Copies of this chain bind each other. A is one copy, B any other.
């Protein structure tokens, strides 16, 4: 998606460890118009799939998921990274390792928000090693729901998360594929 690639080229920074800083438009400051455009793009790609719910993980997935959900007319459910006072006792949980933070943490989803009749589209900002997507798929399937696919803004091809998920049969639609960040240069796959 050209608009997103342009924004990545003009506003992102490459940090040590092949981390792309996109905090001016994606995960600290949010360019709402850009994320709406991403949502519209995923709507074109998944509109015939009977999506009933969009699933994401806090925090950076929430804005993009909510802006996308309005095109589908469905609610968003976001997995939580802490077991808050209001979540109760009836939840699915699993561990996830963050690519950016290098830490492992547990995530939680109330069982009442995932049902066998759900057809779920997962939305997130990044896929690198794919750990967030994998746990979201795992939690959705624990609840008996069907995972129709995933929409991801930026896919980092130096890690094989997207590839592995596609090999497992999941449809992963990323809007900007980054082949390399070597030598301080952002190289897209297409």
Contact = CB atoms under 8 A, between A and B. Distances in A.
A116 interface: no
Contacts of A17: 85
Contact of A35 (B24, B27, B66, B100): B66
A34 to B, nearest CB: 9
A183 interface: no
A83 B24 CA distance: 16
B69 A66 contact: no
B32 A70 contact: yes
A17 B58 CA distance: 25
Copies, count:
2
A85 B100 contact: yes
Interface in A66-91: 66-67, 69-70, 73-78, 80-82, 84-88
Contacts of A70: 32-33, 36, 67
A40 interface: no
A162 to B, nearest CB: 20
A121 interface: no
A30 B101 CA distance: 26
Contact of A63 (B29, B76, B86, B100): B76
Contacts of A49: none
Given A63-B76, A67-B70, A86 B15 contact: yes
10 contacts: A15-B85, A19-B85, A24-B112, A29-B76, A29-B110, A30-B78, A31-B75, A32-B69, A63-B63, A66-B66
Given A30-B66, A33-B70, A59-B59, 5 more contacts: A31-B75, A62-B66, A66-B66, A67-B67, A85-B102
